[in-house]
Amino acid sequence: MTSPLTWLYAPGDRPRVVAKALVSGADVVVIDLEDAVAPDRKAYARAACAELLGDPQPVPVHVRVNALAGPWGEADLVAVAPAGGLAGLAGLRLPKVSSPADVVRVARRAGSAHGGAPGLYALLETALGIERAHDVATAHPSLRGISIGEEDLRTDLGVRDDAGLDWSRSRVVVAARAAGLAPPTQSVHPDIRDLDGLRASCARGRALGFLGRAAIHPCQLPVIERAYLPTEEEIERAETVVKAAAGEQGAQALPDGRFVDAAVVTAARRVLSLARRA
């Protein structure tokens, strides 16, 4: 499978919503046991999630468990990441990670060092988590990605303007790349009616180095995918670069004045790989 562009959250205590999410066209479905589920519904959500994931699913399914430092995280892992694993579970999303030890603890608890175990994805939602981004990204071989939980981070930092998160966003993009992980996905856009705002925000995220985005409603999926797929002009430019590189080795200048070297060719090939999704 190519790199996912859309990650759709669905509340774990609403099986019908989860069922719809599985056929929504999202690349990955994330069953949420954390913020979307009220305390008195945690046990039901956990049991319903474990029952569903006992069978293979049509798309990769991740589960966002509750933080292990809280009262529900350990029970979540017992239910959805038992010894031997669940056939339908592809990944665990770990909220409020602030140190490498958080990742290692879950990896050991979930048996993620063994083949077939779910990949781990760390959500950085505090100033301390952002400061330790690279240490978290290299904490354990089972870690597959890092990303930001922007609402919690915004609160922790006291940031009022969206641009106030750009430094943290770039920090996480660089940490992921330095650790050899896939580019981070953007955090959710909380207003499902504001598709123009979502589109503009995705363009900003793409410019910063993110790849794809989490969603909270299926109506957001086509906007996210379109925003992250290359345009026809970008594809044409990339094809020109790759063709030129195939005909002559080393750095060169194209007729339109663009300079082509190895880094430019790598970027062009990345564009064409992403374009093949369409």
List, as one string, the DSSP characters of 157-218: HT--SGGGGHHHHHHHHHHHHHTTPPPPPBPP-S-TT-HHHHHHHHHHHHHHT---EEESSG
Both structure tokens of 157: 């930092």
Q: Give tens-digit pLDDT for 76-118.
A: 999 999 978 899 999 999 999 999 999 999 998 887 544 557 9
pLDDT of residue 261: 73
Please report which confidence band the pLDDT of residue 1 belongs to, taking 50, 70 and 90 as the band edges: very low
Q: Give tens-digit pLDDT for 182-195.
A: 999 999 999 999 99
Average pLDDT, whole number, for the chain? 92
d(CA 58, CA 247): 42
Q: Give tens-digit pLDDT for 251-275.
A: 676 767 677 777 877 888 888 888 8
pLDDT of residue 278: 66
Amino acid 188 reads V
Which residue intervals of the chain are DSSP H helices?
Answer: 15-22, 42-52, 73-80, 100-110, 127-131, 133-137, 150-157, 166-178, 195-208, 221-228, 232-247, 262-275
pLDDT of residue 175: 98
Which H or E element spans position 120? strand 119-124
d(CA 10, CA 58): 15
Q: Does 59 have pLDDT greater than 80?
A: yes
pLDDT > 90 fraction of the chain, expressed in percent and rounded:
75
pLDDT of residue 114: 46
pLDDT of residue 237: 85
pLDDT of residue 247: 67
pLDDT of residue 112: 54
Residues of 77-88 as b/e, b for ≥16 C-beta within 10 angstroms? bebbbeeebbeb
d(CA 199, CA 20): 23
Q: Give tens-digit pLDDT for 197-237.
A: 999 999 999 999 999 999 999 999 999 999 999 999 988 88
